[in-house]
Amino acid sequence: MAEEAHSTAEHASDRVDFMEHILDSQELHLPWGHVQLPQQIFGIDLTNVYGIDLSITRHVVMMWVAAIFMVVVLSVSTRRRSMVPHGFANVIESVVLFIRNDIAIPNIGEKEAKPFMPFLLTVFFFILTCNLLGMIPYGATATGNINVTATLAICAFVVIQIGGIIHHGFFGYFLGLIPHGLPAWLLPIIIPVEIVGLFTKPFALCIRLFANMTAGHVIILSVLGLIFMFQSIALAPASVLFALAVSLLEIFVAFVQAYIFTLLTAVFVGMSVHQEH
């Protein structure tokens, strides 16, 4: 019985070790060990601030790293401005022009897109940086946390509604959600559907980003876990090669998901700005 209990505890510990690469925690995984993150600042318990958990977690640290990295890299790369940018500044300008010319203007409009460009650029670079940080050893994918993707989706929801209200007025925007010439007897059906539709758009953004960024890490860990599950060294070459292939695919997915989130946000903003279309 004692041996069975010990074996069960070991298996449970393995499951925890497996999931800790995906789930958030209050520890940073560093080469020299795990570092406990502080949960109190100036005597304030961050786990319960007026009933809200504001504790510092690994994903929070990764978001701080992403924000600092963006500020430093983008500031340095654009510090010396010239008519013809060189080096990394040329890459940044190419991305900015791509988002403006191929995402914002086609979906929002040439005149209407300019006020939304700062938000779209911030969302794209932030999501991309968070995605890529998850591919670095001892890093973590903050966008694999549904709380992070939900917050990004809420920000997109607010921008979408503000865009529509600015261009149509408060009452004009919400009245414009109802198709013109609609029979009165359909209003009790259409109005709830349109209201629900306002929330399904950001919900789709949230779940899509969260699921895609989590799935890749689950696949990689599952493939590598086959070696220990079957306790066979013969599976190691195939598992490692397949995990490497999935990792390369994950780098591509990191760019694609940042692009899709930005594109869909621009599409939804365009739908709120141009309700007549």
- What domain range is 264 assigned to? 76-273
Domain-located, residue 165 = yes
Structure tokens at 222: 């599952």
Query: pLDDT tens-digit profile of 141-200?
Result: 889 889 999 999 999 999 999 988 988 888 888 887 777 777 778 778 888 888 888 899
Joined tokens for residue 257: 């998901």
Tell me whether residue 11 is in a domain.
no
Worst-scoring range by mean pLDDT, 22-31, 94-103, 185-194? 22-31
Do residues 25 and 34 lie in contact, with contact meaning Cβ atoms separated by under 8 Å?
Answer: no
Phi/psi-derived region of residue 263, left when phi > 0, alpha when psi is between -120 and 50, beta in every other case: alpha
In a domain, 159, yes or no: yes
Is residue 6 pLDDT above 70, yes or no? no
Please name which of 260, 228, 223 lies closest in space to residue 245, comparing C-alpha atoms. 223
- Structure confidence at residue 83 as a pLDDT band (50, 70, 90): low
Q: Specify if 81 maps to a domain.
A: yes
For 69-75, what is the mean pLDDT?
87
**Average pLDDT over the chain, rounded to an integer:** 81
Tallying the residues shown for the chain, one arrives at: 277
Per residue in 8-19, pLDDT tens?
444 444 444 556
Alpha helices, DSSP H, located in the chain:
2-19, 58-77, 88-98, 105-108, 117-133, 146-168, 170-175, 187-230, 236-273
Give percent of the chain above pLDDT 70: 88
Longest dimension (CA), the chain: 76
Residue 29 lies in a domain: no
Q: What is the mean pLDDT of residues 224-247?
A: 77
**CB contact at 8 A, 252 and 260:** no
Residue given tokens 């409009």 in the structure block: 109
Under the banding of pLDDT at 50, 70 and 90, the label for residue 104 is very high
Indicate the SS3 state at residue 78. coil
pLDDT of 203 strictly over 70: yes
Dist CA 11 CA 9 (whole Å) = 5
Question: Which residues make Cβ contacts (< 8 Å) with residue 256, sequence separation at least 6?
Answer: none
What the block records as the tokens of 207 is 């779940």
In this predicted structure, the answer to whether residue 261 has a pLDDT above a threshold of 90 is yes
CA distance 89 to 85: 6
Question: CA-CA distance, 215 to 143, in Å (whole number)?
Answer: 12
pLDDT at 120: 94
**Looking at 120-129, 173-182, 261-270, which range is the least confident one?**
173-182
In a domain, 254, yes or no: yes
pLDDT of 264 strictly over 70: yes
What is the per-residue pLDDT for 153? 94
Answer yes or no: is 188 within a domain: yes
Query: pTM of the prediction?
Result: 0.84
274: phi > 0 → left, psi -120 to 50 → alpha, else beta; which? Answer: beta
What domain count does the chain have?
1
Does 96 reside within a domain?
Answer: yes
Tokens of residue 175, six digits: 């009245």
Mean pLDDT value across residues 45-62: 79
Does position 216 have pLDDT exceeding 70, yes or no? yes
The lowest-confidence range among 95-99, 180-184, 211-215 is: 180-184
